[in-house]
Amino acid sequence: MALSRASCQCGALTLEASADADICIACNCSACQKRTGSAFATVAYIPKSAVSINGEQMSWSRKAESGRDVENYFCPHCGTTVYWTLDFRPEHVGVLIGAFDSPRPDPSRVVWAKEKRPWVSFPAEFESFPEGSPTPRQ
Ligand SMILES: [Zn+2]
Ligand SMILES: [Zn+2]
């Protein structure tokens, strides 16, 4: 069982995980592009029972294109999103992979491939879905 730590840019919001992720994804949806200011988001889904969160945070929720609710949690000082929760995956916390201090896990699944920027490509062995993951169990 790995102990990993994630934090915002200024360090006011931190998260500790005492278990590895069950699944790591790269999400190409347009909302992730908007939120990150980049081409896609990478997220590690860690069992909720293994996650502890410290520090100040704010949250903002939105309805995803899939119709699922997404709640983004971010530092009120520097604005970095450290994690999100989904009603679709109530047993998991989605930790933004870029927020990990070390080691950073790697994704193995691509979601919302239909909104992927044309210049982005992922390794052929990554599992790929045109929209979101089909079931929360995997
Ligand atoms: Zn911060
Ligand atoms: Zn997304």
Q: Domain boundaries in the chain?
A: 4-117
Local structure of residue 32 (DSSP, 8 states): H
Ligand 1 center to residue 60 CA distance, Å?
16
Q: In this structure, how many other beta carbons lie within 10 angstroms of the beta carbon of residue 31?
A: 17
Task: Please check the confidence at residue 107 and state whether its pLDDT lies above 80.
Answer: yes
Which runs of consecutive H residues, i.e. helices, occur in the chain? Answer: 30-36
- pLDDT tens sequence across 124-136: 999 999 999 888 7
Task: Name the phi and psi angles at 135, rounded to 5.
Answer: -140, 150
Closest CA to 79 of 13, 5, 4: 13
> Encoding tokens for residue 43?
């997220």
The answer to whether the beta carbons of residues 82 and 98 sit under 8 Å apart is: no
Q: What local confidence, expressed as pLDDT, does residue 103 receive?
A: 84
Looking at the CA of 79, name the nearest ligand.
1
- pLDDT tens sequence across 32-82: 999 999 999 999 999 999 999 999 999 999 988 778 899 999 999 999 999
Mean pLDDT rounded to a whole number for the chain? 94
Q: What local confidence, expressed as pLDDT, does residue 1 receive?
A: 54
Mean pLDDT across 78-87: 96
Q: What local confidence, expressed as pLDDT, does residue 56 receive?
A: 96
Ligand 2 center to residue 83 CA distance, Å?
13
Ligand 1 center to residue 14 CA distance, Å?
9
Placement of tokens 């929360």 in the chain: 136
Q: What is the pTM of this model?
A: 0.93
Looking at the CA of 9, name the nearest ligand.
1
Mean pLDDT across 70-99: 96
> Encoding tokens for residue 127?
């599992």
CATH 2.170.150.70 fits 4-117, yes or no: yes
DSSP 82-109: EEEEETT-TTEEEEEGGGEEEPPP---E
Looking at the CA of 129, name the nearest ligand.
2
